[in-house]
Amino acid sequence: MKNMTLSSDFILLGLLVSSKATGIVFTVIFAIFVVAITTNLVMIFLIQVDSRLHTPMYFLLSQLSIMDTLFICTTVPKLLVDMVSREKTISFVACGFQIFLYLTMIGSEFFLLGLMAYDRYVAICNPLRYPVLMNRKVCLLLAAGAWLGGSLDGFLLTPITMNVPYCGSRSINHFFCEIPAVLKLACADTSLYETLMYICCVLMLLIPISIISTSYSLILLTVHRMHSAEGHKKAFTTCSSHLTVVSIFYGAAFYTYVLPQSFHTPEQDKVVSAFYTIVTPMLNPLIYSLRNKDVMGALKKIFSCCSSAQKVATNDT
């Protein structure tokens, strides 16, 4: 029974760094993980407590921070444990759960980034109707739609992946259970499923990219008609952060799921996967906070309130 249980486990080969560099890589990844969790939680906290950030744009941004927090927690803790332990196994059930979570998070983020582009379109092209078109009910529906779209991707692809027969080697040449790496261990023909997954991924990318392209095309036309330099600057500042995040996230996803396998190696896959599962969740809140006066203002306000409260407490003592 014990042997049967062990045989159902997978082995994650990890990043395959040299033993001398393991300590450095572990420290870097752990630091990125802490920064990502901290910055995303701070972003969520600021948006909740500061009334100036109670707008549709920041509501959607808080959803992005929630997704990034869950996304990085899906892969990095297991990676860090594996880097310092001799056993690098992951159970069949845990592998399926990891696949479902990362598919849900990445799919939800795809849709959310598209909806954030629509939000910017309404704000810039229809500013007078913005409070009506993007009221609280609409924002909740948009966020729910993004989460639902991502979870459908997880519910569709996870059961199929885990029902494929696996035999022979149980070693996954990756640091987490990513579908392309797991399917390489299958002992059955998976070409039909890979085609289905390819179509699904293309649709998952095509729908939000169409929304983003249309939204920003209309934004560019509107900005072009503006005669105010201040209006140009405000529109650029508002959209540049979002476009930066979109370029990073969609570029990595396109490489992994749309580009044919013959165009990249397992080592390259791991580097790209590490980038969008580890680095991107840290970059997103930094990009939005460092380039946003409202977020920085809210952060300074919190620090000043904490400083004032500390001084009052010291004086009372």
Look at residue 6 in the predicted model and tell me its pLDDT: 44
Which tokens is 29 given?
Answer: 């990844």
Provide the β-strand partners of residue 200: none
Domain ranges of the chain: 10-293
Chain-centre distance for alpha carbon 184: 25
pTM of the model: 0.87
- Nearby residues of 110 by Cβ (< 8 Å), 6 or more positions away: 149, 150, 204, 205, 207, 208, 249, 250, 253
Look at residue 222 in the predicted model and tell me its pLDDT: 84
End-to-end CA distance of the chain: give it in Å, rounded. Answer: 65
Look at residue 201 in the predicted model and tell me its pLDDT: 81
d(CA 72, CA 96): 17
Look at residue 255 in the predicted model and tell me its pLDDT: 78
Look at residue 1 in the predicted model and tell me its pLDDT: 33
Chain-centre distance for alpha carbon 202: 17
Look at residue 18 in the predicted model and tell me its pLDDT: 66
- Of the options 3.30.360.10, 3.30.499.10, 3.40.630.30, 1.20.1070.10, the CATH number for the domain spanning 10-293: 1.20.1070.10
Tell me which residues of the chain have a pLDDT lower than 70: 1-7, 16-19, 227-235, 237-238, 261-263, 290-291, 308-317
Look at residue 226 in the predicted model and tell me its pLDDT: 74
Rg (C-alpha) for the chain, rounded Å, is 22
d(CA 99, CA 244): 26
Q: Which helix (H) or strand (E) holds 90?
A: strand 89-90
Look at residue 252 in the predicted model and tell me its pLDDT: 77
d(CA 212, CA 158): 28
Look at residue 69 in the predicted model and tell me its pLDDT: 95
- DSSP codes joined into one string, 21-66: THHHHHHHHHHHHHHHHHHHHHHHHHHHH-GGG-SHHHHHHHHHHH
Look at residue 313 in the predicted model and tell me its pLDDT: 62
List the strands of the sheet with 10-12, edge to edge. 89-90, 10-12, 171-172
Q: What is the pLDDT of residues 8-53, one digit of tens each?
A: 789 998 886 666 778 888 999 999 999 999 999 999 999 998 888 8
Q: Judge contact between 117 and 213, C-beta under 8 A.
A: no
